[in-house]
Amino acid sequence: MSNSVIVINDEKFETEVLKGEQPVLAYFWASWCGPCKLIAPSIDWVAANYSDLKVVKMEIDPNPNTVKQYKVEGVPALRLFKNGEVVLSHEGAITKQTLIGLLEGHL
């Protein structure tokens, strides 16, 4: 079964990410962000191909609380959570291969 990216907001963050049973990749993006459009297919690919990983995406502008809490300073930004803790943090555009390499070290 392939998973898809779950769109979340500040209110859903704790339930969907921090209280998750499995590792969660949080993808922070913005509608005005060109590089976000470039990496979106890679994020979708990861969601579809890693059954043991939950992938969520959050638009930064309407969700300032989470953005501030996890020090998202630029988009696209990625945070990998395990047991409610950030174990990987990346900001900026990233190739699919690099993304896979980062994830493989933590899953």
Q: Tell whether 59 is covered by a domain.
A: yes
Q: Which of 36, 39, 75, 99 is catalytic?
A: 36
Q: Tell whether 17 is covered by a domain.
A: yes
Q: Tell whether 57 is covered by a domain.
A: yes
pLDDT, tens digit (0-9, with 9 covering 90-100), for 24-51 = 999 999 999 999 999 999 999 999 999 9
In this structure, what DSSP letter does residue 91 have?
A: E
Is 61 noted as a catalytic residue in this protein?
no
pLDDT, tens digit (0-9, with 9 covering 90-100), for 54-75 = 999 999 999 999 999 999 999 9
Q: Which of 17, 24, 26, 33 is catalytic?
A: 33
Tell me how many domains the chain contains. Answer: 1
Q: Tell whether 1 is covered by a domain.
A: no
pLDDT, tens digit (0-9, with 9 covering 90-100), for 6-26 = 999 999 999 999 998 899 999
CATH at 40: 3.40.30.10
β 54-59/6-7 pair status: parallel
pTM metric for this prediction: 0.95
Q: Tell whether 85 is covered by a domain.
A: yes
Tokens of 72: 């998202």
Domain extent for 68? 6-104
Query: Residue 55 CB: number of other CB atoms within 10 A?
Result: 21
Is 33 noted as a catalytic residue in this protein?
yes
